Amino acid sequence: MLVLGIETSCDETGVALYDTERGLVADALYSQVAMHAEYGGVVPELASRDHTRRLLPLIQQVLDQAGASRTELDAIAYTAGPGLVGALMVGASTAHGMARALAIPVLGVHHMEGHLLAPMLETSPPAFPFVALLVSGGHTQLVEVQGLGDYRLLGESVDDAAGEAFDKAAKMLGLSYPGGPQVAKLAELGDPGRFRFPRPMTDRPGLDFSFSGLKTHTLTTLKRLEQDGALDDQARADVARAFEEAVVDTLVIKCRRALDATGLKRLVMAGGVSANARLRERLERETDKRSARTYYPRGRFCTDNGAMIAYVGAQRLSAGERDEIGIMKAVPRWPMDTLRAPTRN
């Protein structure tokens, strides 16, 4: 089955072709980061308009890259949520329009399930079951994964997601959007011993996260340095290092608890923040100590992309799932624990 995957949930237009026999055939991505950087964050209306401009040319680019035509497609998968409703509608309407014209099945899939299963695109994918850390701009969750659609939420952020906290910290530090890579780059120049920021919710049992207090602590530290006339470039780097260390430590501690609680030996990390080099290093060190293993997708599949949507769509479409033609799904808020395993394999 040759499946076209379409991702338009936020500020990246992603398209890919996935074949259930050959694997990933082709993929392309257009990022809107430069456009939104001027505003310090994603502007939903601009995002939707840009998806409209970019999507059809990207679909043709991917087909040309694969040496395929639209008539060779067996099905289409698109991101139905969660995300920005206008951006989601661009992908949904395009997918349903093409599916109707080609008389092929179409299916809306869950964006975070795409991230969750993105490591399956690698040459050495994890086997079920495993613990997954989903860590991005909009979500920070720990999930026990027994199989496709068989998920148990172990813990999640009660306020800001880790990626959102990185973006806000970057803004406080005078860095550009998106904040995660900028904070990580500045942190490399920081003194790890100058400041120690709190590791939120690690002094109590449980697997939930909270990053709003860490954000407030960062702002308070910067204001105090400014009042003392000590907020120079080195101080900013030291604050960035302390902030990154606190986020990474918090995530690692919670992942360790999740592995201990479930008894599992495989940890999957996915989402935009999973590209953070310090986080990868620390989690690999932690799993090595437990004779466990960490899995994550290659860099370009950590952020939003069409390949992960094409993969998940292919699995569910192969099991007989599909939308009713013309009934488009665009779900801005869609809890992942409402997903179910396919009823037919």
Q: Determine whether the annotation assigns residue 137 to a binding site.
A: yes
Q: Which residue type occupies 169? A: A
86 marked ligand binding residue: no
CA atoms 124, 290, 184, 143: torsion sign: positive
Three-state secondary-structure class, residue 310 = helix
Query: Do residues 168 and 184 touch, judged by C-beta distance below 8 A?
Result: no
Strand-strand pairing, 266-270 and 23-31: unpaired
Contact present, 79 and 308 (Cβ < 8 Å): no
Angle at 254 between CA 249 and CA 257, to 5 degrees: 130
Annotated binding-site residue? 83: no
134 is in an annotated binding site: yes
* 312 annotated ligand-binding residue: no
Scanning 69-161, the segments in alpha helix (DSSP H) are 85-102, 111-117
Residue 136, marked binder = yes
User: Is 306 labelled a binding residue?
Assistant: no
List the structure tokens of 242: 């302390």
Q: Is 11 a known ligand-binding residue? A: no
Ramachandran area for residue 327 (φ above 0: left; ψ -120 to 50: alpha; else beta): beta
Q: Please tell me whether 252 is known to bind a ligand.
A: no
Residue 3 host element (H or E): strand 2-7
How far apart, in Å, are the Cα atoms of 78 and each of 107, 127, 135, 288? 6, 25, 21, 37
Is 110 a known ligand-binding residue? no
On the CB side of 258, how many CA atoms lie within 13 Å of its CA?
Answer: 31
Both tokens of 70, joined, read 């639209």
With vertex at residue 37, the alpha carbon angle to CA 173 and CA 42, rounded to the nearest 5 degrees, is 105
Q: Annotated binding residue at 167? A: yes
Q: How far is CA 118 from CA 16, 37, 206, 226, 282, in A?
A: 13, 26, 27, 43, 21
- Among 341, 304, 337, 321, smallest CA distance to 91 is for 304
CB 125 within 8 A of CB 295: yes
Q: Which residues are annotated as a binding site for Fe cation?
A: 111, 115, 304
Q: Which residues are annotated as a binding site?
A: 111, 115, 134-138, 167, 180, 276, 304
Q: Which residues are annotated as a binding site for substrate?
A: 134-138, 167, 180, 276
